[in-house]
Structure 1
Amino acid sequence: MKLLIKWILSALALLCVAYLYSGVEVRSFGAALIAALLIGLCNAIVRPVLVVLTLPVTVITLGLFLFVINALMFWAASGIAGSGFQVHGFWAALIGSLLYSIINLVIESLTSRLLFRE
């Protein structure tokens, strides 16, 4: 149940990003659900491999290269999702991924306090 709620809230966060920033387009809630699933899968499967492969660059840039990796995962998900979720370029992916991360962080902190008390 927690996973389903987090998935729906991530889709809502993606809709918020599209509302706040014109470089990211989401056509419907269904497209946001698919895009949130794809972003989650990219972050779970591809991102760890990229983090390990780019470790020297990440160390040299004091961790700032992780923003580039996040943007690439965001952009890759838009490429896989098709026309329902579009990101217009790398810089739009960078800004969109930053906004998405911030909104998800706020949602996660609120839901952990309100819904998921153990």
Structure 2
Amino acid sequence: MVGFILKFLLTAVITYVLANFLPGAHIAGFGDAILLVIVLAVLNAVLKPILKLLGFPITVLTLGLFLLVINAAIVMIADAMLSGFSVDNFLYALLFSVVLSVVTSIVDMVVD
């Protein structure tokens, strides 16, 4: 349980820092970063498997690169759902999702 809470808080901090550091991504405050982490987790659990199933043929043709597009779409949906988080366009959503995935993967390896 402690590991889950630690990962959750670290992901919220990373999300807050990335949204303030990366161009095109904007977040109002740390509370919005916590909400963003929750929304992204729910979208990844519910919507992402459906999108992966529907996009499977394209994913195969692009050798998996279409999964990056799905991740960026998830970030754009989170942008539409939250008023305290915004991404300027699809390319910035793609950049945000890739950097967030890489950094959280590194944090997960260190925490585990």
TM-score with structure 2 length normalisation?
0.93
Q: Distance in 1 between matches of 2:4 and 2:27?
A: 22
Partner of residue 110, structure 1:
110
**2:20 aligned with 1:34:** no
State the SS of the aligned residue for 2:86.
strand
Give the C-alpha shift of residue 18 in structure 1. 1.4
Q: Distance in 2 between matches of 1:5 and 1:75?
A: 26
Matches within 5 A, 1:87-106: 87-106=87-106
Partner of residue 52, structure 2:
51
**2:65 aligned with 1:64:** yes
- Across the two proteins, how many residue pairs are aligned to each other? 111
Q: Which runs of 5+ in 1 are unaligned?
A: 113-118
Identity of paired residues, percent?
32
TM-score with structure 1 length normalisation?
0.89
Query: RMSD across aligned C-alpha pairs, in angstroms?
Result: 1.0
